[in-house]
Amino acid sequence: MKRTRWLLSLTAAIGLAFSSPVLAQTISGSTLYTPNVNLDTGAQNTFVGTVGGIFLTTYSFYPQVNYLGYYDRNGDGLASSHLITLWDNSTQSIIASATVPAGTAAPLVNGYRWVQLSSTVTLNYGSYYVIGAQTDGVDLWGDLISNNSPDNGNNGQISWNSQYVQLGSGWEFTRAGRYDSHGNYPAEPPNQAGSDAIYPVANLGFNVVPEPGSWALLGIAAMVWCCSKRKRNP
């Protein structure tokens, strides 16, 4: 009996070891990419249409998405509301969408205004997806940014998140900017620009905005740190 239990435990442990990379949960605060350049001061794009990019998901596990974001130049609020959409490229179907409201109501994190989805969307591994935002020529946004080849994930103007994107030399072609006119929506934007690139107006992520309880914990931690610092430095 003991030997049987030991064998069952060993089998379960081996199964968990092989399955954990596939079932791993996306880390809170993760986003598809982070610009390595100042989008506020660089070239600004006035294109009116649907703008974003295409990317191939990692082969390591199933990425999760529950926030969509729109770039807010200078962080001073948006003049208009903007629809963000995520398409499954294999089926050409919309799998998530959200409208980022005008003004400053949506939380600002890392240069983007974020809106939470009603439920978490799990992407398939090793699959193509397209993200796009509807632009109006009023809320301007940083123009196409790209990396150099060979790229390990941040060799240039973009830091790609390995939880979402298949990285490594030879995969640069799987990421590119996408755009189209408003009139063709809700079809995904087919026009492509650059390699290892994206129009940085739309973004996606998982638990990008901390829960109120997390903010409270951070505040308490900051107070404890300040108090301890004062005791050490009277």
pLDDT tens for the 234 residues of the chain, in order? 444 444 444 334 434 344 444 567 899 999 999 999 999 888 899 999 999 999 999 999 999 999 999 999 999 999 999 999 999 999 999 999 999 999 999 999 999 999 999 999 999 999 999 999 999 999 999 999 999 999 999 999 999 999 999 999 999 999 999 999 999 999 999 999 999 999 999 999 999 998 764 434 444 444 433 444 444 445
Domain count, the chain: 1
Q: What pLDDT, on a 0 to 100 scale, did the predictor assign at position 182?
A: 93
Helix, strand or coil, per DSSP, at residue 174: helix
Domain assignment present for 180: yes
N-terminal to C-terminal alpha carbon distance within the chain: 64
Domain assignment present for 121: yes
Nearest-angstrom CA–CA distance, 218 and 213: 9
Nearest-angstrom CA–CA distance, 47 and 134: 10
Longest dimension (CA), the chain: 72
Domain assignment present for 120: yes
Q: What pLDDT, on a 0 to 100 scale, did the predictor assign at position 229?
A: 41
Domain assignment present for 128: yes
Domain assignment present for 8: no
Domain assignment present for 28: yes
Tokens 């030991």 identify what position?
Answer: 6
Nearest to 151 by CA among 166, 168, 165: 168
Looking at residue 198, its amino acid is I
Nearest to 123 by CA among 223, 205, 200: 205
Rg over alpha carbons for the chain, rounded to the nearest Å, is: 21
Domain assignment present for 152: yes
Domain holding 56, by residue range, is 22-232
Domain assignment present for 4: no
Residue 50 Cα distances to 19, 85, 169, angstroms: 38, 9, 29
**Type and span of the H or E element at 5:** helix 2-23
Q: How much is the pTM? A: 0.81
